[in-house]
Amino acid sequence: MIKPSIALILLFSLLPQPGLTLITPAARNISNHPILTAQGDRELTEEQFLQRVTVKITSETNRGSGTIIAKKGDNYLILTNAHVTRNTKTLQVQTYDGHSRAARIVPNSLSENQDLALLEFSDTRNYAIATIAQFTPNQDEIGLEVVAAGYVAETGQYRTTKGKIEQVSDRPLLEGYSVGYSGDIVQGMSGGGIFVEGELIGINGRSSHPILSNYTYEDGTKPTDAEIQQMRAVNWGISINTLLTYIRPEILTAYQLPLPKSSPGIENPTYTGYIAELETKAKGFTVRIDSSSQANGSGVIIAQQGKTYTVLTADHVLCEKIAEEKTCADYTYTLTTSDGKTLPLDRKTIIRQEGVDLAIFTFESNENYPVAEIANYSPNRESPIFVAGFPKIGDKRAGWLFSGGAVKSQEEGLLATRQSDFTITQSGASIRVSSLSGGYDMVYTSITFGGMSGGPVLNAAGQVIGIHGRSEGVKGKIQLGFSLGIPINSFIGLQEKFGSSELTM
């Protein structure tokens, strides 16, 4: 049993409720229709599934819950609250089958001070993994039914409670709290999952009507007294998207967690955490290439020698063909660098190779521009990637977009070419491409637009692993299916032919 003094010290720990009754599946109306585990090994009811992905966390000073969100080999990754693990020396994790083992905090796992913590434990047994929801709660989800899970601190018993999303804060509170929901949350359920139809949307963290209130926004401002009273009336959780935004990229990659969700519109989303850092890096070495045809493309600065910079792009950005003509149209080009300076592009410096949709050119400047870091390897399927470039729709001025996605297999890309058409944009028009020709061996799910051709494909470390060039299923020049790029190792293999073997990249 936890001492009352400890419960008071833990300001945001969940408070016990009198007359606690464990809720049966019938009482809380959880669906008993079979669902698949994330590993697909067997069918479970929603009730069984939620219990299998929820763990009990104990230490010498605290009791809490956690949610299994990923697996790598025999290592399982657990999401919980930082206040569950704070000031602890030893941690024990107990799974639904009663087995307990030591757990360790993943060091430096988050890039910001959120009330989140990641734990790891090792076990050869096969445990279910929570299914991460494909949406982030917003105002449209108010009224949506949720089920919260966790272990009761006083009894150690597993518990679930049903509620609804009541509030979604456009401005997160301190430590990342943004989802307000109803339900009978009790002490010990911190770190347990909040689920919608069996999918994880966040974790518990603060119960309603706390003894001590500290409702402050992340920017340091406070809600009005009336707003605070509304906030006190509900429980507060942290969206799973907050974890995906602030988790270190190497952990996200190692455990193959999904990318944080963002709006798929042409307006570039405002990123935070490490993704914002990657976007800033990409903006430095990505250039916009404008044509006198009024079309545009993108390119990547890959080398510098003195005042001379080398840019890698897609060849069709610089070789626009009209109708069935086989030669490049006689257009002129300019490039715009990250500092907004526009320079003429000397077509005499363009080098291309037949059979691969790549080209390089050089420009000279006294300015000091960042040079992209190249990573020569083939990414694994489902690895997170980002595509950067300057999309242009209609007559609007080309903007900037940094679009996340995941790597897919070449087989998926080949199947897609049989079912629909891939396109490239030339002279402002979408041109259909019937197969994975031109060196396009990289397939990914990033949303892309015309004008992004030639832009970098980045891994989660911000290294260039490919050059973007094609998109599938275009409607109004907006990509609705897969996108295609050329792996950077294809360029490296052709460096000598491009006359760039002596460049330092």
Instruction: Write out the DSSP string of 56-97.
Output: EEE-SS-EEEEEEEEEETTEEEEEE-HHHHTT-S-EEEE-TT
**Average pLDDT taken over every residue of the chain:** 82
Element (DSSP H or E) covering residue 57: strand 54-58
pLDDT at 7: 37
pLDDT at 476: 37
Are the CB atoms for 136 and 261 separated by under 8 Å? Answer: yes
pLDDT at 249: 75
Q: What CATH fold (topology level) applies to the domain 46-122?
A: Thrombin, subunit H (2.40.10)
- At residue 461, what are phi and psi to the nearest 5 degrees? -95, 0
Which CATH architecture fits 273-364? Beta Barrel (2.40)
Residue type for 475, please?
Answer: K
pTM: 0.55
Contacts of range 140-147, beta carbons closer than 8 Å, 24 or more positions apart: 141/165, 141/168, 142/166, 142/167, 142/168, 144/196, 145/196, 146/181, 146/183, 146/194, 146/195, 146/196, 146/201, 147/28, 147/30, 147/46, 147/50, 147/194, 147/195, 147/196
In terms of pLDDT, which residue wins out, 69 or 275? Answer: 69
pLDDT at 431: 39
pLDDT at 11: 36
105, pLDDT greater than 60: yes
124, pLDDT greater than 90: yes
pLDDT at 171: 81
- The predicted-structure confidence for 193-203, as pLDDT tens digits, reads as follows 999 999 999 99
**What is d(CA 484, CA 303) in angstroms, rounded to the nearest whole number?**
24
Are the CB atoms for 317 and 360 separated by under 8 Å? Answer: no
Q: Give the pair of three-digit tokens for residue 417.
A: 């070419």
pLDDT at 272: 81
Asked whether this chain's domains 46-122 and 383-495 adopt the same fold, the reply is yes
393 SS3 class: coil
Are the CB atoms for 273 and 466 separated by under 8 Å? Answer: no
186, pLDDT greater than 80: yes
Residue 127: which residues within 8 A CB-CB, separation 6 or more?
Answer: 52, 53, 68, 71, 76, 95
- The predicted-structure confidence for 269-291, as pLDDT tens digits, reads as follows 677 888 889 999 999 999 999 99
Stretch 391-405: mean pLDDT, rounded?
Answer: 77
Q: Taking the CA atoms of 132, 138, 141 and 143 in sequence, report the sign of the dihedral they define.
A: positive
The distance in angstroms from the start CA to the end CA of the chain is: 60
Structural Rg of the chain based on CA atoms: 26
Are the CB atoms for 165 and 179 separated by under 8 Å? Answer: yes
pLDDT at 459: 95
Stretch 43-62: mean pLDDT, rounded?
Answer: 93
- At residue 241, what are phi and psi to the nearest 5 degrees? -65, -25
pLDDT at 328: 86
pLDDT at 267: 59
**What is d(CA 278, CA 368) in angstroms, rounded to the nearest whole number?**
19
Q: Could you tell me which CATH number the domain at 383-495 has?
A: 2.40.10.10
pLDDT at 187: 93
Segments making up each domain of the chain, as ranges: 46-122, 139-255, 273-364, 383-495
503, pLDDT greater than 80: no
Contacts of range 16-20, beta carbons closer than 8 Å, 24 or more positions apart: 16/153, 16/154, 16/186, 16/187, 17/184, 17/186, 20/152, 20/154, 20/155, 20/186
Q: What is the pairing mode between strands 131-132 and 199-206?
A: parallel
How far is Cα of residue 136 from the mean position of the Cα atoms in its chain? 12
pLDDT at 479: 40
**What is d(CA 282, CA 274) in angstroms, rounded to the nearest whole number?**
12
**What is d(CA 197, CA 187) in angstroms, rounded to the nearest whole number?**
24
In terms of pLDDT, which residue wins out, 205 or 472? Answer: 205
pLDDT at 154: 92
In terms of pLDDT, which residue wins out, 475 or 102? Answer: 102
The total of other beta-carbon atoms located within 10 Å of residue 428's CB is 17
Question: Was domain 139-255 assigned CATH 2.40.10.10?
Answer: yes
- The predicted-structure confidence for 303-351, as pLDDT tens digits, reads as follows 999 999 999 999 999 988 765 567 888 899 999 999 999 999 999 999 9
- The predicted-structure confidence for 445-493, as pLDDT tens digits, reads as follows 887 888 899 999 999 999 999 999 987 534 333 344 578 899 999 998 8
- The predicted-structure confidence for 219-259, as pLDDT tens digits, reads as follows 778 888 899 999 999 999 999 999 988 888 778 878 888 87
- What length is written for the chain? 505
6, pLDDT greater than 60: no
Q: What percent of the chain has pLDDT over 90?
A: 51
